[in-house]
Structures are given as C-alpha cells and as structure tokens.
Copies of this chain bind each other. A is one copy, B any other.
Amino acid sequence: MERPRAWVFTLGTEVVSGLVVNTNAAFLGRRLTLMGFTVSGVLSLPDDIDAISTFLNYVLKKYEPELVVTTGGLGPTYDDITLEAVAKALGRPLILNEEAYTMIREKYLVRGYELTPERLKMAYLPEGAKAIPNPVGTAPGALLKVGRTLVVCLPGVPKEMEEMWVNYVEPSIRELSPAKVSEGSFTLIGVPEASLAPILKNYISMYPRVYVKSNPKGFELNAPVLEIYIAASAPTQEEASGILRKVCEELIQKATNIGGRIRDLRC
C-alpha cells in the first residue's frame, strides 16, 4: 500500500521573514504523518500572488499529490491574497460563495460591525469550493477538488487553523488514507550517532514502512545522548503496533550490544 502524499503551503510574509515560528507546519506535519500521509514538502512563501500560484501549479502538475493544505492569507487585509493565488493557479474565478457569505454576515452582525468591502472579500472563494466554518475567528476556509488532488485552504492563526483541521478537515480526508501509524521513542546514552548510523541504515532497507531517526541531544558526563524515534505504518493499528515493538526491541538489543544504555522507553 502506497502512502498518500500531502504538500503543505504555509503562506505569509511574517512566516518567511521569521516574525513567527512556523508552528502550523509542525502541527500539520504531525497530524498528517499520524494519519498515514507522507508529507512530501512544506513551502512558505510571502504574500505574493505570482509566487504562490506558480509553486502551487508546479506541485499540482508535477506530483499530483492526494492533498494540498494551505494556511494563511484568508483574512480581510490587503495582503491576504491566498484565495486569489489559488484561483489563478487553477484557472478558476473567485465567486461569492453563499455558505461563506452567510458565515461572515452572522459573525459581524453579532458583534455590531458593518459588512465593509474588506470583510465581504472573505466570502469570495474559488468556483466549486465548499466553505469550511471557522468557529474561532471570522475568515471561512475553502475545500476544493482539483483533478485527483483535494485542496484545503485554512487561516494562518494557529487556534483557528487547528480547530478547523481537527473538527472539519480530518473527518473529510480520512478516506484518502487507509494507513495506520504507530510511533515510539527511547533515549540512548553512550553511543555516538556515527556508530549507530550503519545499524539504522540496515533498517531502512529491511523495513521500507518503518521510519527511524536519531536526534543528537548533547552529552551527559561526556557520553553522547541520542533520542531515537521510530514510526511504523500498516493497514491496521494492530499491525503497526506489532512492527513498532519488533523494531524497537531489535534496535535496543543492537544498541546495548555496542555499549549503549536505554532510558525513557516508549515503544
């Protein structure tokens, strides 16, 4: 079973210029991996219609991934241009979306604000899109099918994005990936990363659906400390857990054989 592929576009000049740390990328990368997707790339671009539509087009045509998620650029300000860029990339017009219009109208009427042109702009989605409700903020999201790719556009404010992701997007995309993933980790003390390298290299060829990564965590009393992370993917949760336990046991055996000590075992 081939893992479905996802691309994430985290958009906004504040992201590329380092004004914010890109926690949206980490959140989505984590959730998608757990759902059995391979995250093929995460691209941050400034609020630039040409750059966004160019790269979106390139990724859609070249890779035809099962899923593209964008975050950011859905709000009322002049630099919120994501949907314009998506519409340009797909060659579809932006049209007033009835669902989105209703969502926005209700938000502003409740707070006693007028429906200015800037606010109304948030109700324009690419033709054929479904509006995604935003229970935390005002800008609705958009979900549309482009060839074999599902494109999901979410706001950049983490609280809004996460809430919409968990409550609306995940239930909508579950059918894209039948895979289950099981994850574990342990801390390994006393084995330098380069001594572990040939052992991990063997694993990648033995188990193509296992991901093993060593992260150096510094030194304790001159002994190198590594965090070993393992993920296993399989059609059922039970199989995935079984593979994880097996790989974990074997790795611990081999690492202790070359003088390593194990701590914080979670496998």
Residues of A near any B CB (own CB < 8 A): 8, 13-23, 25-33, 38-46, 51, 55, 58, 75-79, 111, 113, 116, 118-119, 137, 157, 192-198, 200-201, 204, 211, 213-216, 229, 231
| A196→B80 CA distance, assembly (Å) | 13
Q: Which residue of the partner chain B has the closest CB to A203?
A: B78
Known interface pairs A40-B51, A193-B77, A211-B13; A25-B26 also in contact (CB < 8 Å): no
Q: Which residue of the partner chain B has the closest CB to A111?
A: B192
| A42→B23 CA distance, assembly (Å) | 14
Q: How far is the CB of A50 from chain B (nearest CB, A)?
A: 11
Query: Is A193 a contact partner of B75 (Cβ separation < 8 A)?
Result: yes
Contact of A197 among B45, B76, B111, B137 (CB under 8 A): B76
Which residues of chain B are near A42, meaning CB under 8 Å?
A: 15-16, 22, 43-44
Contact of A21 among B22, B40, B45, B204 (CB under 8 A): B22
| A185→B195 CA distance, assembly (Å) | 49
| A199→B19 CA distance, assembly (Å) | 21
Known interface pairs A22-B26, A77-B193; A17-B33 also in contact (CB < 8 Å): yes
Query: Is A79 a contact partner of B213 (Cβ separation < 8 A)?
Result: yes
Which residues of chain B are near A22, meaning CB under 8 Å?
A: 21-22, 25-26, 42
Q: How far is the CB of A51 from chain B (nearest CB, A)?
A: 7
Q: Which residue of the partner chain B has the closest CB to A76?
A: B194
Query: Is B29 a contact partner of A16 (Cβ separation < 8 A)?
Result: yes
Contact of A192 among B31, B43, B113 (CB under 8 A): B113
Which residues of chain B are near A33, meaning CB under 8 Å?
A: 17-18
Which residues of chain B are near A195, meaning CB under 8 Å?
A: 113, 116
Query: Is A118 a contact partner of B78 (Cβ separation < 8 A)?
Result: no
Query: Is A118 a contact partner of B197 (Cβ separation < 8 A)?
Result: yes
Known interface pairs A40-B51, A197-B77; A19-B229 also in contact (CB < 8 Å): yes
Q: How far is the CB of A23 from chain B (nearest CB, A)?
A: 6
Query: Is A30 a contact partner of B18 (Cβ separation < 8 A)?
Result: yes
Which residues of chain B are near A118, meaning CB under 8 Å?
A: 194, 197-198
